[in-house]
Amino acid sequence: MSYVMKKNDDENEKYWLSDLFLYHISKASMYIYEEKFDKSKEELVLAKKYMDKIEGDSYYTYMEYAYAISLYYDRIGKSDEKGKVLEEIYEFYTKGNFKGRAERVKSLIEDAFYGQNTDFAREALPVKAILDICELVGAKLELENRDKDTNFLALFNETISRDQGGVLEVIEDAVNMIQNTYNLDRAILLEKSGERCMMTYSHGAIKLNVKDMGDIFKFFDGYKAEFITHRIDHNYQMYSDALEKFNMDEIATAIGVPVIKDGELKRVFIGIVDVHRSYTGNRTYLNKHNLTVVKYAVHQLSDAIKRIKSNCVIKAMNQELEKSSVTDQLTGIYNRMGLDKLIKQGLGEKGTLLYLDLDYFKKYNDTYGHDVGDLILKSFATILADNVKNIGYAIRYGGDEFVAIIPDKDEQFGKQLATNINKEFMDNYEVQVAIEGQLISSSIGVAEYDDSSKEGIEQGLKAADLALYEVKNQGRGTVICWSELE
């Protein structure tokens, strides 16, 4: 087709001539079996004419021509003529060191010189028998294809039904299966959300910009159906709006599948089998039955994408709910339920606890109002969280009481950390402004734990609370360790 449309296309001329050779050699063989020898001779002449014009394919074409011309001369009883023609072909294969093919031609030549019967000299099958054989072979191939489709769909549904992996991973695996099963050289899956178009999968030499994707969606908005087309179809050009982005001269077969939900075009799948330059290639081109299977698979994939996205939303909501259940709403750090969760997750074999209490918080809250009280709590929580970041956990234990857990650190480390926290809090400018320059501090008790079970942490908290109580007795605003009370 490219050669017909582009006369100066030397590359496509070669493939056009190859097709013509095959066409005439096949017609010659049919006429020989039908004993229409005049017509078969005409076809053989034309086949040789095109064969001589083809460069690079002689390895294949000479053998096909040898079989056909040998059969022709055997049937008309001219063995001498047959030998002369085959000698030229034999010489070609010998010079090219194509030993296998040379031996085949040699066997045909010997048949000619010694008058032996070849396989080609046997009685020809009647046309009806040939048609019956073709029908049986066709039925067998159809059964094989059905089995192939059944196996494909079983594996495909298993792939898109799995719970592991995200949307893009499932899309890639699923479209890869379609592509490999049906020998697609290029494939894309486009998605549309509102006015936004995006490519969620592509394979092969495909480059589409936003306008290109919009044009493809525009085509399917109007066409609203799946299609399969081959470059030799009379209506091939009617799909140009969808396929021109893929270089239509390179396409052998193309399929397009739109996914329409609730009257709205959501996705488009396009698969392409490219032109393969040698007619000897073992290619299986797509048909309408393949289109039906691919359409079903693409729609199943679309449903799976929706399911996975919904599951992701639900999972995110559950994570948010779980986070909110263990997080203090005002300060954003862990609450008591969060502490229970941390204990279940494990807090190391041993570590240090800080029990912290804001001094005179009720006074400031009553004097300056809840807004200032909330500011003090949030500021202190931020300072606490920043100081234990990457080494431990900050928890609002209740009211103006806080807890810090530092796994794998000793009491002296905890005391220094507590001192730093207290100093930073007392120097906090925002809080100082809010309470008009009055002194604000925290009292902190420190204790170690040597057992991270719930009972072990509770025992450590009791020890830190006793140390905190001693700080209150001594005037507040300082740090005391449990070991200092012993």
Domain CATH for 235: 3.30.450.40
- pLDDT category, 68, cuts 50, 70, 90? confident
53 to 21, 58, 68, 225, 404: CA distances (angstroms): 10, 10, 18, 44, 88
CATH assignment at residue 451: 3.30.70.270
Please name which of 55, 112, 107 lies closest in space to residue 83, comparing C-alpha atoms. 112
Q: Is the pLDDT of residue 481 over 90?
A: yes
Please name which of 342, 340, 337 lies closest in space to residue 326, comparing C-alpha atoms. 337
* Domain count of the fold of the chain: 3
Same domain, 15 and 94: yes
- pLDDT category, 163, cuts 50, 70, 90? low
Beta strand spans in 23-146 (E): none
Average pLDDT over residues 397-411: 90
**399 found inside a domain:** yes
Cα separation, 392 vs 39, whole angstroms: 94
What angle is formed at CA 450 by the lines to CA 424 and CA 344, rounded to 5 degrees? 85
Q: Is the pLDDT of residue 347 over 80?
A: yes
Same domain, 345 and 304: no
Cα separation, 257 vs 174, whole angstroms: 15
Same domain, 233 and 341: no
Total Cβ atoms within 10 A of residue 317: 10
Q: Is the pLDDT of residue 438 over 90?
A: no
Same domain, 341 and 303: no
Pick from 17-26, 50-59, 432-441: least confident: 432-441
Same domain, 224 and 92: no
Same domain, 171 and 49: no
**319 found inside a domain:** no
Pick from 68-82, 311-325, 454-468: least confident: 311-325
Same domain, 257 and 180: yes
**144 found inside a domain:** no
Pick from 79-93, 244-258, 378-392: least confident: 79-93
Pick from 133-142, 184-193, 227-236, 382-391: least confident: 133-142
Total Cβ atoms within 10 A of residue 117: 9
What angle is formed at CA 58 by the lines to CA 53 and CA 61, rounded to 5 degrees? 90
Long-range contacts, 65-71 (Cβ 8 Å, 24+): 65/25, 65/89, 66/104, 66/105, 66/108, 67/108, 67/120, 68/25, 68/28, 68/29, 68/32, 68/44, 69/44, 70/108, 70/111, 70/112, 70/118, 70/120, 71/29, 71/32, 71/120, 71/121
Contact in structure between 302 and 266 (CB atoms under 8 Å): yes
**186 found inside a domain:** yes
- How big is the chain, counted in residues? 486
* pLDDT attached to residue 131: 61
Same domain, 344 and 289: no
Six token digits for residue 387: 């100081």
Contact in structure between 249 and 271 (CB atoms under 8 Å): no
> What is the torsion angle, in degrees rounded to the nearest 10, for the CA atoms of residue 50, residue 53, residue 57 and residue 60?
40
Average pLDDT over residues 447-465: 90
Q: Is the pLDDT of residue 119 over 50?
A: no
Contact in structure between 155 and 177 (CB atoms under 8 Å): yes
Higher pLDDT, 439 or 429: 439
Does pTM surpass 0.85?
A: no
What angle is formed at CA 140 by the lines to CA 138 and CA 145, rounded to 5 degrees? 90
**133 found inside a domain:** no
Please name which of 252, 241, 239, 272 lies closest in space to residue 2, comparing C-alpha atoms. 252
Same domain, 186 and 62: no
Chain mean pLDDT for the chain: 82
- pLDDT category, 114, cuts 50, 70, 90? very low
* pLDDT attached to residue 115: 44
**136 found inside a domain:** no
* pLDDT attached to residue 322: 63
Could you list the residue range(s) of the whole structural domain that residue 36 is in?
Answer: 2-121
Average pLDDT over residues 233-241: 88
Q: Is the pLDDT of residue 4 over 50?
A: no
Buried b (16+ CB within 10 A) or exposed e, 421-453: bbebbeebeebeebbeeeebebbbbbbbbeebe
**480 found inside a domain:** yes
* pLDDT attached to residue 14: 65
DSSP conformation letters of 147-180: HHHHHHHHHHHHHHH-SSS-HHHHHHHHHHHHHH
Task: Summarize pLDDT for 256-291 with one digit per residue, the tens.
Answer: 999 998 888 999 999 999 887 544 444 556 788 888
Q: Is the pLDDT of residue 116 over 60?
A: no
Higher pLDDT, 19 or 431: 19
Same domain, 302 and 340: no
Most confident range, picked from 5-19, 91-105, 146-160, 204-218: 204-218
Stated as kind and residue range, the H or E segment containing 9 is none
Q: Is the pLDDT of residue 417 over 90?
A: yes
Higher pLDDT, 20 or 130: 20
Evaluated on CA atoms 229, 234, 236, 241, the torsion sign reads negative
Pick from 79-88, 306-315, 378-387, 448-457: least confident: 306-315
Higher pLDDT, 320 or 43: 43
Same domain, 410 and 480: yes
Amino acid at 323: K
Six token digits for residue 345: 């997750």
**323 found inside a domain:** no
Average pLDDT over residues 456-480: 90
Average pLDDT over residues 149-167: 79
Same domain, 356 and 480: yes
